[in-house]
Amino acid sequence: MKRLIGLAILTSLVAVAGVATTYSTGEASDHDDGENDTKPRSLNLTDHFVFRSTDPATPNDLSMIMYFNPRSLPGKQYFMNTNARYEFHVSNVSARTAAATTAENFVFRFEAAAPDATGVQAITMTVLQDGVVQGTPDSGFSTSLTSSKAGGSALTINAGTAGAVNFRYFVGMRADSFTFDVLRFFQVRTFLAERFFGGAAGIGDPTAVGRLAPNCKGQGLLAGVLGTPENDGDNVNLFNPPECAPDFTKNYNVTAIVLNVPIANLGGTIFDTWSTISLAQ
């Protein structure tokens, strides 16, 4: 099995703002790990977000979101892997400055059946508290691509209760909210590596400055330092400015699992949280 662990573990998040199949720890996520024969897009965990609900109707809920299926093409339906577990993990901590833990006080698990003809998957949602399943797993449904595009009342919002935990959740495709100028990132990374660690002795290559291409406004790296007219206030033009930087994720979609749980049901007000996708061996 491979468990893909999102790097965006929210340490000390303040809430006021038995089967034979085995699972094991795998590798961390960095928004888009690429694909290979053993890890399709549906197992590629991209981002993890947690915050107090912005819905005026549920201001005391904790909202948890995971993204997967990066670089999903417009107009194309993507799905959850039917052999995988998609999980949110919540650990109660005593203080904002407390060390991060791996205690799993709550686990919210999502598993999917094969899609039907409309692109909808039946979802089994299980709540575990301190490793114990709470009540009967809830059965819900994902939202098809067509309904996701329509939005509003067309979205399928599932709701239920397991033990003392109430929840609402959505599973479906959304526009990727991540913004990343990937080409310039690699250009700058190469430049910094050569400048500070390149050269014959590995102590830095000063000539690397001349090999970094101008940014998207045509500004050279040291234009501001040299005081040339092309400078717009930045002394060093390292990355592309927002007004012309190309967004690598523009027009791509992701699949999102969005979960809302009342903070009062989680036994605390400060949490460590993380997401995983695990595949049975």
DSSP result, 13-45: EETT---S-------EE-S----BTTB-GGG-E
Helix spans in 173-226 (H): 182-197, 223-226
* Assigned token pair, 121: 């998957």
Please name the helix (run of DSSP H) or strand (run of DSSP E) that holds residue 65, with its range, or none: strand 61-72
Here the tokens at position 244 are: 């012309």
What gap in Å lies between CA 53 and CA 68, rounded to an integer?
21
Closest CA to 79 of 48, 110, 47: 110
**What pLDDT was estimated at residue 14?**
42
- Those residues whose C-beta lies under 8 Å from the C-beta of residue 144, and which sit 6 or more positions away, are 77, 118, 119, 120, 172
Residue in 131, 90, 87 with CA at minimum distance from that of residue 109: 87
Confidence of residue 18 (pLDDT cuts 50, 70, 90): very low
pTM over 0.85: no
Q: Residue 32's pLDDT band (boundaries 50, 70, 90)?
A: low
Paired tokens of 182: 């990937």
Confidence of residue 248 (pLDDT cuts 50, 70, 90): confident
Please check the confidence at residue 79 and state whether its pLDDT lies above 80: yes
pLDDT tens profile 177-190: 888 899 999 999 99
Check residue 166 and give left, alpha or beta (phi > 0: left; psi -120 to 50: alpha).
Answer: beta
Residue 4 contacts residue 29 (beta carbons within 8 Å): yes
Per-residue pLDDT of 190-217, as tens digits, reads 999 999 999 988 999 999 988 999 999 8
152: CB partners within 8 A, 6+ apart: none
At 85, list the tokens: 């577990």
Q: For residue 259, what are the CA distances in angstroms to 54, 100, 151, 166, 256?
A: 13, 22, 17, 11, 10
